[in-house]
Structure 1
Amino acid sequence: MAEDQSNTFTPELRVLMGIYEIHRRFERLEPEFVDGFDITRQERHALACMIGPVRIGHIAKKMQSLPSAMTPLLDGLTDKGLIKREPDPEDRRASLIVLTKKGRSLQAELFAAATKAFYDVTGLSPEDAEALAVLMDKARQNFTDV
């Protein structure tokens, strides 16, 4: 059980320390909860960015990368049968990246594994997770680069 720091640090510092500690634990436990998935960390991150058809630029922005750096990554996901490129009906010069049935299935498995890992690491209830998600969404509205 973590030491009670409620009287030692300000709420802001407790939040920052909590975010850091959760991140550190996820980093350490990541190999366990992704064991069996034949996919790299970058490929998992890219799949997590794909909710509906998206342009390469959207994925690059979410991954804090350049669109040109996405080509080899997306080629690998295409080779694995997880995504396909389709013409963008709004811009014939652009392509949309779409998950295949296999890609949607893997994405669902990864999301389920991440959800389980979240609850294992944090010990939060679903109600607490929802309250935390609302606060995190509110904080993320200040991000200008995402």
Structure 2
Amino acid sequence: MFLVGRRLRHGYADRLVPLGLNPGQARALRALAGAERPMRMVRLADELRIVPRSLTPVVDALEAAGLARREVDPANRRSTLVVITPEGRALGERARDARRQAGEELFAVLTEEQRERLRDLLGLVEEGPG
């Protein structure tokens, strides 16, 4: 199981290189694109399951690339919002495609029936007991 996950992560990371992203930046774009409104830095860090100080370089890189920007939260001027730009949204979609392609390539050795069975089994594991 560990090796399968590792191969998937490496295949995904390799596909992100031409996009100029690393997996952490791609995850942040995915979270920002999926949010209904700009996210506070603290909430984005929680969403990504990282500490806020680890998020700073990720947002710095997204900002430098024009994919996101920081704004003062009008509801709480001590908080910072992260806003995805149209360019960030578009690149996030390309990163999502890269992720899907990495998975398709990894599981191409399985028949469609085996892939469906695997989906069912992983769904059971994800649901957990009870």
- Whether these two folds match at TM > 0.5 is yes
Greater helix fraction, Structure 1 or Structure 2: 2
CA distance in 2, matches of 1:68, 1:31: 23
Cα deviation code 1:5-30 (max 9, x no counterpart)? xxxxxxxxxxxx3xx23212113423
Cα-to-partner distance string for 1:25-65 (whole Å, 9 max, x where unaligned): 11342344224111233322322322222221122223332
The structure 1 residue matched to 2:80, chosen from 95, 118, 121, is: 95
1:114 and 2:99 correspond: yes
Unaligned runs of 5+ in 1: 1-16, 140-146
In structure 2, the gaps of 5 or more residues are none
Q: Provide the residue aligned with 2:49 in structure 1.
A: 64
Task: Indicate the SS of the match to 2:20.
Answer: coil
Number of matched pairs: 120
SS of the residue corresponding to residue 68 of structure 1 reads: helix
Moved over 4 A (4+): 129-137
TM-score normalised over the length of structure 1: 0.65
The answer to whether 1:37 aligns with 2:19 is: yes
Equivalent residue of 2:71, what SS?
strand
Q: TM-score, normalised by structure 2?
A: 0.71
Task: Name the SS for the 2:21 alignment partner.
Answer: coil
Percent of residue pairs bearing the same amino acid type:
27
Which of the pair has the greater relative contact order for Cα pairs under 8 Å at 6+ separation? 2
- Give the Å deviation of 1:136: 6.1
Q: Where does residue 138 of structure 1 map in the other structure?
A: 127
